Structures are given as C-alpha cells and as structure tokens.
Structure 1
C-alpha cells in the first residue's frame, strides 16, 4: 500500500470515528429532547389537564357533536378487548347510578308527622255521603334545629349534723371530668374536636361562632390547649387499636408530609411526616395516624415490631428496612405502577407501549371489579385470581421483559418500566392471599381527609399538637369506618374515660365494642 493510500485510509478511519461520535451525540440529544418534551407534557397536563386517573383508550380523543354517544361506545368496545380467554368468562358489570330521590333522607333521622286534613267542604261527596280517608300522600322535608347552649350548674351538697358536731360537715365529691379545670363540658370539647378535624373548621371560626351565637368567649388558644390536654387520657385507646393492627396478619401503610414549627433542633420549614396505618381483623378495622420527625426507617420498623404477614404499601424507601425481615411480605401498590404509565399513554399518539401497559391494567382491574361486585369471600377471590389474574400477570411480565431493553432508561417510559420490574414480586403478592388488595387505594383514601384538613390548618405549632392531631384523627376515622357518629362517639368516650380503671373498661370504648344506641350511626363512613 502506497503512502497516499495509507493517508486516505487514515482519513477514512478518522471520518468514520467522527461520524460514530456524532451519531452518539445526536442520539443523546434526541433522547434528552424526548425526556424534556415528556416532562413538559406532564407539567402541562398537571397544570391544565384532567386530574382524574381514569384512562380512556381512544385512537381519536376528540369527540364529535355526538361525543357522549361515541365515548360510551368506545368504552364498551374497550371493555371487550381482551386476549385472555379468562376475560371472556367475566360478564361486564353495568353500573347504573340509581336515581336518588330528593327526599331520600337518612333513616336514622327522627320523623315528626304533621297531618294536613282536607278542607271541610271537600269531605262531603256530591251524593251527600261523608268521604273516608283512603290514603295519605307522603312528602318529607328536612328541618333544622339550631344548637342549644345551656349552662350546667353543679350544686354539690354539703351536709352537717344539726347538733353542730365537730368534723361532721361533708361535701359531695366533685364529678370526674377529662379536663377538671375546664369551664365547659365534654359535649363542647367533642364539638370542638370534630368540628376542627372532621368538618375542617379553623379555631377562629369556632371562636366567632361561640361569641356571636352563644354570647360567650372561648379563645382559640384555650380550644387548642384543651384538644392537646385531653389526648393523653385517650392514649390507652390508641394503644389497644395498635395491638389489633399488629396482631392481625394483613396490614397497610402510607405517609404524607406534616409541617411542625417548633420541633427541637429543627427549622420551621423542615418537613415531618404523618403515617397512616390500617389493619385489624374483620369487624375490628383500625385506622391509625402517627407523627414522626426523624429516622423514618427505624420508626416504621419499630412500629411493626411483632407483625407478621402481608403489608400493603408503595415503593417508598422509608419502608426498606421493614422488608428485610422474612416475617413481613410486601404487597406493593399496582395503582402506583399503573400511575407511571397513565400520563404517558394519554400524551402519546398511536398504539404505544404505555397504552399497551394500560390495557394490561384495565384487564386486571376488570377481574378485581368482578370480585368486588359479586362480594366474593377471600377464598373465592383467591380462586378467581389464580384462574384469571395470575396468567395475566405472567403475560404482563413477559411483555415487560421483552420491551424494556428497547426503551430509553432515563425517559418517563423507561422509569415506568424500571419501577414495575423492580417491585414486581411485591406487585404480585396479592395473588397469594384473597384478603390482600391489588393496590393500596384504601389507605390512600384515608390519607386524603388528612390532606384536606391540612390545607386548612397548614401546620402544627408544636410536637404535642402534631401528636394530638394524629391521635384524634385516628379515633374519628376509625369511628366513621364503623358507621358511628363521630360527635356522639367522642362525647361518650370523653365522659367515660375518667371512670376507666381496667383494660376491660377501655376495651368497651373501642368503636367496634361500644353500644350503638349510645353513639348513634351514620349511613356511610365518609
């Protein structure tokens, strides 16, 4: 080879190397552009798009003038799309929202009948015979009675010997109260707690209501201090409820942020967390909230000391230490995995991978919906899942393994694939026990009321306030879970707690043990 040929070959090699480098840079730029565009689409959707997570698989999402009909037909067709033969055995459950009567008031509300007679001249027939009552047309209207404020005057008897014997003057003992020095009764305290946390009324609203409608002043500082002070007396109930969660072999866990201003050694802007724990045997459902500021992994691990069984949660790193124990089997949330694909599927066009993943989840939740609609027992649900859900999840896993290498790892779709594969074993744990759910939605639904209330009070001023907040939220949500009126339940336990002396006394005040006639009932635990 001549020198000229060698020189040309060297130039060709250099140009080839430069082309390869440029191709790599171009590919990196394309990947970065795709990631940024994906982030932009998600930000725009989060800011301006729909908040619902319901996914509608339509090739053309734009609806015509007859869009409602087209949409319903598309949903019907989507429900029928299935490659799994097991899905053909599941009849589509058509849920039609029952028309609610305007007068369908709760059955537990008292009724007062008002008889409205026919006019006297209409009670006689044209033939001269007196007409008889054959029926009553019934119409119900809701009536409101303003709250009644009254002052309880306690008159303690003082007795003495009429002969004037020394030392024979005796005064009746003071009644036991949960706040002995308070100027209001347990009913007012129950009203403050439930109004603050369940009705999300700020203290200053309650202060104005008391002042304008009842004519007395109860400062917000006094209300806040009273809510905190009574929490220590209620702690034994929380301890018993925690025992129920630990003793049962199915539980759930989730967390949300909580800002506490005056935490020792921490700035006011530092975020702490409120954990939501859910569990308990059937008929003894428990919902607990607990505040924690630091060392979240040891906190969660210590909280579940002694627990053995399946635990619903998400892939939060706070829970990693807990699953190092063989006694705890993580049941990860399929809704979290689905949520990774959902915004990509909505933003993308054509039949992309995200839409294919969403179809897998639609088929899975169709099976879960069948079990729920037919009110299957855990054994029946286990059998259905083994027959239908297990082959579907195996097919989904094969699909994930096949397409994951083709997806840019830093893209949103790549992260969705990586998340699902990382937690795959836990995502399939629900197949092994009919008592387990496919997701952690029930616990997330219990986090939501806490988050809504937090938007009103925004932060806690002290650690004691945060602890009291979680304690009262636990009792209110558990009471409502068992269909109890939270105000009447609180009034009952606040009056009974000072007289409790044994464990049995406290157990009698738990939401599933307390007599329903004492605390009333509500139609649905909201």
Structure 2
C-alpha cells in the first residue's frame, strides 16, 4: 500500500508502507505516530527554509530591529531564570540616539584643488554710463563647477647623459667617463612605468574593473596592450616589490595583541590536481581598533585549520573570529566570538516563522532583545577608554549575559534542534565560552564586523572578475589587496601610494627593515600627495 502525502508544490514526500496497519496493533500505531511527528518536523523545517530564502531574495537585507517588534509586555517584565530561588540579575535599559549630520556641498568640495577664473571689464569700459566718472568694483558673483580631467597617456623618455674629457681624449692615457645619475626602474627592459602599473592595479583592486575591460579602455587612449601583458605586470609588481612591504606588514601584525580573522571562497581555474570548479579560499587577518590599520590577505587552496595555525604561529593574544571551528586548535590564542552572528541567527529565526506561531515568535524576539541590549551598551561606550569600557561591561553587560545564559538553558529542551530557532539557541550555547571573552579586556570588540568590512571589497571584486587563472595570480592578488586595503584605511590614495612604492622600492636597500618601515602605509614619512582628500 502506498500513501502520498500532498504537500506544498515546493515539497513532495512519498512514504511506502510495507505492512497493513491493524486497528488494534498498539505498537504499529505508536510507530506511525512517531513517524508522522518526524515527517511533520521535517516539513516544518523545509517550510522555514523556504520562508527564509524568500526573505533573503525579496526582503530587506538590513538586520535592524523593528522598534514595534520589541514593544511587547514581555520585555517590561523581569527575566525568568532556570532556578526561581536565585536572585534575578538586573540590568539597565540603555537608549541610543544617533545624530545624523550631512555635509554641505561646500564642505564636500573644500579639500579639492581650486582654479580661479576672473571675468573683468577692461579699464576703458570702467566708466559710468550716467556721469562718465570711473567705476569701482562693488562685489563679486561666484559660480562653482566641478571639472574632471580624464586619464591621459604620454611617453616619457629617460635620457641619461654621459660625459667625457676632450683633453684626456687627446693627451691622456685614460679618459674618465661620468654618467648622470638616474633612478632605477621598477620594471627593467619594459614599457611599464610606476604610474601605469599603479593605475591598472588601482582600477582592478580598488574599482573592481577586470583586465579585459581595462584592455578595451586603454585602446581608446591609444595604447594597445593585451590583458596577458597587464596580468604579467600585476604579478611582477606584486612579487618583486609589493611582497617586501607585505612581509614587513606581517611581521608588525604578529606583534599585535588583538587580531581579527575571516575567510571567503575564491575560484582558481588552473590549480594542479584540482578541477576548475574547486573552491579555494582567501583568508584575512587584521588588527583591532585604536591601532594603525594593518590588513593582510592570504591565498590558500583549502579551508583547513593548518593554514591559520601556520600564519599565526608567532602570534600570542586575542583573536576575533566567527563560528568556524578551524581556529579552535591554534595554540597560545584566546578566541573572542562574534555577537553579530549570534544575533543574526535569532533574526533569521524570526523571518522564518509562519504567521500564527506566537509562542515561537515571542521566544525568538526575546533572544533578539538580549542581543540588542548588549549592542546598545557597546554603542554607549564606543568613545570611552578601554579601561572605562571594561568597567561599563562588567556593570551592565555581565548581568545581561548571566540572564541570557539561564534563558538559553531553559529554552534548549523546548525548541526543535533543527529549526531556525533551535539553531540560534544551539549556536549561542556552543560558542558561549567565546562569546563572553569580550568582557576580559576593554580593547576587545563585541563582534567580528571589522574583519567582515575589510574582506567585503574582495567579495565585491570577486563578483566582477569571478576567478583567478592560476595560484600564482591568486597569491599576487592577496598581496595587492593587502596593500590597497591597508592604504585606504590609513587615509591614503591607493593609486598615489602604489605609484610612490614603485618609485621608491627600486632605489632603497630592501633588506633594511628601517627603510622598509618608512614606506609602510601608516608611516608618518609618507608624502602628502599620497593622502586621500578628506
């Protein structure tokens, strides 16, 4: 006998019965009751996933909490803990108002170079039409315009003059020859200049413009360069010169006490022994707040834990991470969890609930409210010193965490483990030892959003150029992204800074760490023309 359960058109399940259910067979009835409950739970899970996908595809991407959603009587009451005999920890409700200030057009243009064009009346015409007397300037009428100067290309000939002595040529045995000094080129025996390589790098790694589109653009400027040539310049510039800055940045990074880490996928077409569809990974490591930004990308074939373990082998301190377990086995490191991820699970649980699921909605909303209160406290102490922030967290955040922990234990047996709400509760309990680490040091952050913001430009660029051809190209991209993103966060213009590096690096002792330090993005000796307009 075959029974077909009619489900929504996105889900169809067929159950085969091998035996006939006898009315008085209690064991068989109990079996099918249990089986029916399993199928209903599975159906609810699929429906949750469908609603969540619909929200992700068509709904707003913001995770901002609706104020009306939180205005429930439930949150005006004292929180219940597992043991009613234990005194309830209290916490303050912190309100936060953000002042939005928008700059005027004048303020936005005040740092741009300005050219003045005066329109005057000739001296002969400066005569009053009424009485014939000489006129004077009464006022000025000013009109401002923004002018764009498109990219221009020219050939620069570096002519090195050589000098000799005519007297010695005629009378002497030897003729001294003196050659004028000339800066060493970054790319010998090549038409590539520091400016064109910096321009192409900036277009690809800052603006996300693939090389094949740059190839077309250069043709309109009168330059016929193949994308293979452009790619060779990228690899050569990264491996020969920028890697020296990258390696020194890494040495500085591993001396920090607090770091952030994240990773994302990358497709590399020509990896030995792997198909073109295989996923590779771009790892990101960076330092925390109140430090000159230092951001490093590293390409690896897999997401295995051996990669961060090797990269961070000389690091000893706190590491902000997400929920990925690959960081758990790194020695001498204390992991600090991400509350944004914890909050996101409760937010998704709310979005996945069907209409009428009142109790589950109250539960998910309550979990979300705990997270919101923690973030409200962080906003309040954002501009405080680490010492003051540490004290505020102990006074306000710790009681919330204690109540939240008790609430999570109470909800664990009540929610379906595989439901969206069950996953939210499970995530918090599983990573609780990492989620409370931010209480230990006022310099720590409540989330890992800093690394997510830093890796986002790579994710956006990946959508434009989709893949890397070879592992060598992926490694070069990691180096260039590291230089560009660190330069941006230190207030530098990526193009001007890259151009400056290609001009300076061939003419210094690159084995001298002090000289390399003078070229790092946060160095005070970087010239003003490399600074971005404010």
| TM-score, length basis structure 2 | 0.84
Q: Displacement, 1:426?
A: 0.4
Q: Which residue of 2 aligns with 1:370?
A: 380
The 5-angstrom pairing of residues 376-395 of structure 1 reads 376-395=384-403
Distance 1:126 1:316 in 2: 85
Q: Displacement, 1:417?
A: 1.2
The 5-angstrom pairing of residues 444-463 of structure 1 reads 444-463=452-471
Q: Deviations over 1:393-440 (max 9, x none)?
A: 111111100011111112222122111100001011111111111110
Q: Deviations over 1:283-315 (max 9, x none)?
A: 432011010014721111011112111110111
Distance 1:304 1:328 in 2: 9
Q: Which residue of 2 aligns with 1:5?
A: none
Higher relative contact order (CA 8 A, sep 6+): 2
Q: Displacement, 1:87?
A: 3.0
Distance 1:118 1:170 in 2: 57
2:499 is equivalent to residue 491 of structure 1:
yes
Counterpart of 2:295 (choices 270, 287, 292) is 287
Q: Which residue of 2 aligns with 1:225?
A: 232
Distance 1:169 1:303 in 2: 51
> Is the CA contact 2:336–2:436 (under 8 Å) kept in the aligned structure 1?
yes
Aligned length: 489
> Is the CA contact 2:264–2:283 (under 8 Å) kept in the aligned structure 1?
yes
Counterpart of 2:349 (choices 344, 347, 365) is 344
> Is the CA contact 1:244–1:281 (under 8 Å) kept in the aligned structure 2?
no
Counterpart of 1:334 (choices 328, 336, 339) is 339
Q: Deviations over 1:163-212 (max 9, x none)?
A: 25566556556641121122131111111111111011121222222221
Q: Displacement, 1:29?
A: 2.2
3-state SS, counterpart of residue 295 of structure 2: strand
Give the CA RMSD over aligned residues. Answer: 3.0
Distance 2:128 2:182 in 1: 66
> Is the CA contact 1:488–1:518 (under 8 Å) kept in the aligned structure 2?
no
Q: Displacement, 1:48?
A: 2.1
Distance 2:130 2:389 in 1: 67
Counterpart of 1:30 (choices 19, 35, 40) is 40
Q: Displacement, 1:500?
A: 2.1
Q: Displacement, 1:34?
A: 1.4
3-state SS, counterpart of residue 436 of structure 1: coil
Moved more, 380-389 or 40-49: 40-49
Q: Displacement, 1:159?
A: 2.7
> Is the CA contact 2:257–2:316 (under 8 Å) kept in the aligned structure 1?
yes
The 5-angstrom pairing of residues 230-309 of structure 1 reads 230-232=237-239, 233-279=241-287, 282-294=290-302, 296-309=304-317
Q: Which residue of 1 aligns with 2:10?
A: none
Counterpart of 1:49 (choices 55, 59, 67) is 59
The 5-angstrom pairing of residues 38-437 of structure 1 reads 38-56=48-66, 58=68, 86-88=91-93, 90-95=94-99, 97-115=100-118, 136=140, 139-162=143-166, 163-164=169-170, 168=176, 172=180, 175-213=183-221, 215-232=222-239, 233-279=241-287, 282-294=290-302, 296-322=304-330, 325=331, 327-348=332-353, 349=355, 350=358, 351-372=361-382, 375-437=383-445
Unaligned runs of 5+ in 2: 1-21, 79-88
> Is the CA contact 2:295–2:486 (under 8 Å) kept in the aligned structure 1?
yes
> In structure 2, do the counterparts of structure 1 residues 363 and 319 end up closer, same or farther at CA, with 3 Å as the change threshold?
same
Unaligned runs of 5+ in 1: 1-11, 60-73
Distance 1:474 1:142 in 2: 32
> Is the CA contact 2:518–2:526 (under 8 Å) kept in the aligned structure 1?
no
> Is the CA contact 2:388–2:442 (under 8 Å) kept in the aligned structure 1?
yes
Distance 1:204 1:13 in 2: 72
Runs of 4+ in 1 over 6 A off after TM superposition: 118-132
Distance 2:190 2:386 in 1: 49
> Is the CA contact 1:332–1:426 (under 8 Å) kept in the aligned structure 2?
yes
Q: Which residue of 2 aligns with 1:69?
A: none
> Is the CA contact 2:262–2:321 (under 8 Å) kept in the aligned structure 1?
yes
3-state SS, counterpart of residue 319 of structure 2: strand
Q: Displacement, 1:450?
A: 0.2
Distance 1:320 1:275 in 2: 16
3-state SS, counterpart of residue 522 of structure 1: coil
> Is the CA contact 2:347–2:368 (under 8 Å) kept in the aligned structure 1?
yes
Q: Deviations over 1:336-366 (max 9, x none)?
A: 1111111221343434311111111111111
Moved more, 38-47 or 132-141: 132-141
Q: Deviations over 1:150-171 (max 9, x none)?
A: 2211222233342255665565
Distance 2:288 2:401 in 1: 29
Distance 2:192 2:350 in 1: 57
Q: Which residue of 2 aligns with 1:64?
A: none
